[in-house]
């Protein structure tokens, strides 16, 4: 019996196939959620590197421990101002990368 070679797929190919092509609503939602998850992980990692509990970080920021937990676990759509306060309390430098896509801006 002849064995057939197994086809190897890239991560991009798998995401395109199962989530949708870039620009589709499902893909946009997926990528947005992924960015929020990465932000939560960055907050958690920085907090632990500073040897702070969620409660201590919350006190520095002026929010409750539950809010820090929600941020770290991506369970809330936090205000940008709150996220910036968290990183300031962690003495963390924040960089944003804005990339303009080659798409025409349409006015409604």
pLDDT tens, 31-71? 887 888 888 899 999 999 999 999 999 999 999 999 999 99
Question: Is the pTM for the entire model greater than 0.75?
Answer: no
Give a yes or no: residue 17 inside a domain: yes
Give a yes or no: residue 105 inside a domain: no
Euclidean distance between CA atoms 44 and 54, whole angstroms:
9
Range of the domain at 61: 11-89
Give a yes or no: residue 69 inside a domain: yes
Euclidean distance between CA atoms 53 and 69, whole angstroms:
10
pLDDT of residue 44: 94
CATH code at position 61 = 1.10.260.40
Give a yes or no: residue 106 inside a domain: no
CA dihedral 34, 69, 92, 85 (to 10 degrees): 100
Give a yes or no: residue 4 inside a domain: no
Cβ proximity of 72 and 105 under 8 Å:
no
Give a yes or no: residue 55 inside a domain: yes
What average pLDDT does the chain have? 86
């Amino acid at each position: 019996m002849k064995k057939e070679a197994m086809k190897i797929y890239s991560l991009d190919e798998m995401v395109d196939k199962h989530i949708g092509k870039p620009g589709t609503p499902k893909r946009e939602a997926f990528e947005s959620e992924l960015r929020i998850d990465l932000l939560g992980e960055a907050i958690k990692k920085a907090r632990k590197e500073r040897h702070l509990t969620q409660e201590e970080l919350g006190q520095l920021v002026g929010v409750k421990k539950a809010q820090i937990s929600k941020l770290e676990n991506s369970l809330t759509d936090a205000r940008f101002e709150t996220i910036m306060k968290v990183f300031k309390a962690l003495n963390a430098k924040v960089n944003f990368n804005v990339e303009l896509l080659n798409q025409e801006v349409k006015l409604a």
